[in-house]
Structure 1
């Protein structure tokens, strides 16, 4: 080990802290500036979503950013939010807000 006064030993993380998860490419809008080419897209199956959530929990991920198209277009959006909350994992998502019913707005905001 060098004896430099500025030498610092760094311990690297076993896993990432933050994950960006594209949960769907579906979107209800057609913004001109958007990068999406396929607005219908493919949704993950319930088993795929469950497996990803299990891995996120096992790897002790701290923050998950839900991305898409429109994340709220995923049929498992509410399930994903509930599982992340129960696992005490921070999450964020960007939405156009078009799919939120008044009841859902009250629950989230």
Structure 2
């Protein structure tokens, strides 16, 4: 119903998503190249995963197996990379808190 009211079709929306995905890839790579982002940062993988998802969405209207496979790979790799970084972050915070607790309770040798 939304698309009927606006005069746009689902295909138009999917094409727009694809173009937005391409622009997102280009911006992410530019930020990486200019060293505003690190390839180790969680943000880099989040942006890349969003870009791949947008391009994959566009493939629902004009399917291409090769493009779908590479976008699927980027989405999967992005999810794994984000998960690993979030796990390390949470584990680091827990280790830091445990270290503080141990320091408080440790008595210096007399």
Give the alignment's TM-score, normalised by structure 2. Answer: 0.29
Higher helix content, 1 or 2:
2
Higher relative contact order at CA 8 Å, sep ≥6: structure 1 or structure 2?
Answer: 1
Give the alignment's TM-score, normalised by structure 1. Answer: 0.29
Greater C-alpha radius of gyration: 2
Higher strand content, 1 or 2:
1
